[in-house]
Structure 1
Amino acid sequence: MNIKQLEYFVDLASTLNFTKTAKNFYISQTAITKQIQNLEHDLDLTLFLRTKKEVVLSQEGKTFLPYAKQILHDVNLSYEAIKEYKRGKSGIIKLGFIKACEHQVLLDLLEKLKNQFPLIQFQYQAYPRQVLLDLFKDHQLDAIIMYEHNETQSFSKCVLKNSYLRKYYHRECNLSTLPLIYDVQDDENHQELEQTLLKLCLKEGYAILHDFIEYNQYAKNFNYEDTFVSSPLCFFYLNNHTNFALSHVIDYVLQTYKKDNLK
């Protein structure tokens, strides 16, 4: 049994005329007859009842017909899926992002990508910074979203948003008397954002953090002092990839966010 035989069978079940089916496929009636006979032999079924006056679909043929149509439908879907994949319109893309990032920017990006590429499956997960970098370098992630860092200098990037660093401290404290307990750019003192904010609430010191934490539930307890140090949130990607879908996603991100950042 092959796809052509199923196509001939489905068409013949509609026309009930070997001559018409042969014309529909631009082959001889003898060829159609032979292919139907081969299909019947493979299935060990009589698909058509033939007389000198007419051709009738047998009971076995009626039973087999919906399955034949479904097979052809699935084959056509698979061809379309492959075409979409080659066009970069479908596939799987694995995105990683740093835990302590501005979630609204991330949500906006994911919404845009899903709307633009409905057939692409986006798998995304938050990681600590070093884990995120290691996975990306090991090509286990297609792209990552994090703030610029000395380890990202060799990666291609698109800036999603320019953030700034601030010195945050408890409202009841004087910044000049507090020790630095956390610097978001300092690898040696990495900790979870929530832990840092709780320490600020306990008046243990001050922290240098991104300006987006003003939306955090703890922010009402803090004062801040601007540092005017830029810390862009970026979409990082590698150029030496063979993922068709990723190529289109990268192009879209570059066009969308470079244009937005020029406004």
Structure 2
Amino acid sequence: MDFKRLTYFVAVAEELHFGRAAARLDIAQPPLSRQIAQLEAELGVQLFDRSRSQIKRTQAGDALLVRARDILERLDRTKREVKRIGEGAAGRLRIAFIGSASYGVLPELIRTFRSEYPDVELALSALNNAELKTALIERQIDIAFARPALEDDEIRCDLIHQEPLILAVPAESDLAERDELILAELKRETFVLYPRRPRPSFADYVLKICKKEGFIPGSEVLAQDYQTAIALVSVGVGISVVPQSVSQSDRHGVVFRPFEEGNLGTAISLAVRRDNQSVHTNQFVTVAQKFARKVKKRSG
């Protein structure tokens, strides 16, 4: 039983007239009659009682009409859904990001994309840079937001946002009373670095900045992620160097202070596989590139 033959049957079953059904389908009447006869032969039942004056549906015809309408409606709905997914108007996009990105421009970018493509489902997850790289290469995700970027021949990165670094210090410390800090003067402080692994990581980037300023921190505490590092700062374990955007979110027990000397800043990049030709990915990249230009113009 094919869908075209079902369509022919529904037309005859609703019109109860082969001539009107043929006109509705825009085909000649003899081929339509043959299609109905073949359908009855295929099912082994009589679907219509025929007479010279009129035709009527049999009980089998009534039952098939109910089912056929449902089948054809589902088919039409499926075609529309598949078409929308193929055009990028619906579907699913898997996005992973470095934890600290959730405090910067990423939420605004996500809202921008959702406003343009409200029917595309976004599956969001937080991973560290090493996990982002692995997930992207193994096609477990479609898009990654890394800090500052992912290095691999299979991956393309686009800069989304550049920002300064800032110091997170315990609210109860003497450092919190100063409006601005000098990094080199903090060499005896305990630096809370993250992530603990894998290395090299953002922790090594901070140590590079310290070395450039002529010192190595007096002591180090390694945390697995940004959230843990800030929690340790809040209870007075030490200080931490973090992206400026995280200061937009209040954290009890923590204050943020700027520093100028040696502030190399940090960046968020959007990473995709070079061979990813998905319409959804391409749409997101286009929206992200426009968004990045808008943010740069707004900041500059």
Q: Same fold (TM over 0.5)?
A: yes
Please list the CA deviations of residues 42-100 of structure 1 after superposition, one character each: whole Å capped at 9, or x if unmatched.
Answer: 22332211111101122221222121111111222222233323323233221111123
1:186 alignment partner, one of 181, 189, 203: 203
- Measure, in 2, the Cα distance between the counterparts of 1:221 and 1:193: 13
* 1:223 CA drift (Å): 4.9
**Match in the other structure for 1:249:** 284
Q: Does 1:236 align with 2:237?
A: no
Moved more, 214-223 or 235-244: 214-223
Task: State whether residues 142 and 281 of structure 2, in contact with CA within 8 Å, keep that contact through their aligned partners in structure 1.
Answer: yes
* 1:143 CA drift (Å): 0.6
Aligned CA-pair RMSD:
2.7
Q: Indicate how the Cα distance of structure 1 residues 180 and 40 shifts in structure 2: closer, same or farther if over 3 A, else same.
A: same
Task: State whether residues 182 and 190 of structure 1, in contact with CA within 8 Å, keep that contact through their aligned partners in structure 2.
Answer: yes
Task: State whether residues 156 and 271 of structure 2, in contact with CA within 8 Å, keep that contact through their aligned partners in structure 1.
Answer: yes
Please list the CA deviations of residues 207-259 of structure 1 after superposition, one character each: whole Å capped at 9, or x if unmatched.
Answer: 11112332445355435232443212232223321212222222222223323
- Measure, in 1, the Cα distance between the counterparts of 2:78 and 2:296: 40
* 1:40 CA drift (Å): 1.7
The residue identity in structure 1 corresponding to 2:96 is G
Q: Indicate how the Cα distance of structure 1 residues 15 and 104 shifts in structure 2: closer, same or farther if over 3 A, else same.
A: farther
Moved more, 124-133 or 174-183: 174-183
* 1:37 CA drift (Å): 1.4
- Measure, in 1, the Cα distance between the counterparts of 2:53 and 2:236: 98
Task: State whether residues 99 and 129 of structure 1, in contact with CA within 8 Å, keep that contact through their aligned partners in structure 2.
Answer: no
- Measure, in 2, the Cα distance between the counterparts of 1:157 and 1:239: 12
Q: Indicate how the Cα distance of structure 1 residues 192 and 156 shifts in structure 2: closer, same or farther if over 3 A, else same.
A: closer
**Match in the other structure for 2:52:** 52
- Measure, in 2, the Cα distance between the counterparts of 1:221 and 1:124: 27
The residue identity in structure 2 corresponding to 1:102 is S
**Match in the other structure for 1:211:** 244
**Match in the other structure for 2:255:** 222
Gaps of 5+ in 2: 176-184, 196-201, 206-221
Please list the CA deviations of residues 16-49 of structure 1 after superposition, one character each: whole Å capped at 9, or x if unmatched.
Answer: 1111222233333221111111112222332211
The residue identity in structure 1 corresponding to 2:278 is N
**Match in the other structure for 2:213:** none
Q: Does 1:61 align with 2:61?
A: yes
Task: State whether residues 104 and 245 of structure 2, in contact with CA within 8 Å, keep that contact through their aligned partners in structure 1.
Answer: no
- Measure, in 1, the Cα distance between the counterparts of 2:246 and 2:290: 28
**Match in the other structure for 2:234:** 201
- Measure, in 2, the Cα distance between the counterparts of 1:106 and 1:26: 53
Task: State whether residues 149 and 268 of structure 2, in contact with CA within 8 Å, keep that contact through their aligned partners in structure 1.
Answer: no
Secondary structure in 1 matching 2:89: coil
Task: State whether residues 133 and 150 of structure 2, in contact with CA within 8 Å, keep that contact through their aligned partners in structure 1.
Answer: no
The residue identity in structure 1 corresponding to 2:287 is Y
- Measure, in 2, the Cα distance between the counterparts of 1:66 and 1:257: 53
Q: Indicate how the Cα distance of structure 1 residues 218 and 122 shifts in structure 2: closer, same or farther if over 3 A, else same.
A: closer
**Match in the other structure for 2:124:** 124
Task: State whether residues 48 and 56 of structure 1, in contact with CA within 8 Å, keep that contact through their aligned partners in structure 2.
Answer: yes
Normalization by structure 1: what TM-score?
0.86
Identity %, equivalent residues: 17
* 1:124 CA drift (Å): 1.7
**Higher relative strand content:** 1
Task: State whether residues 89 and 119 of structure 2, in contact with CA within 8 Å, keep that contact through their aligned partners in structure 1.
Answer: yes
**Match in the other structure for 2:29:** 29
Moved more, 57-66 or 102-111: 102-111
Pairs aligned (count) = 262
**Match in the other structure for 2:217:** none
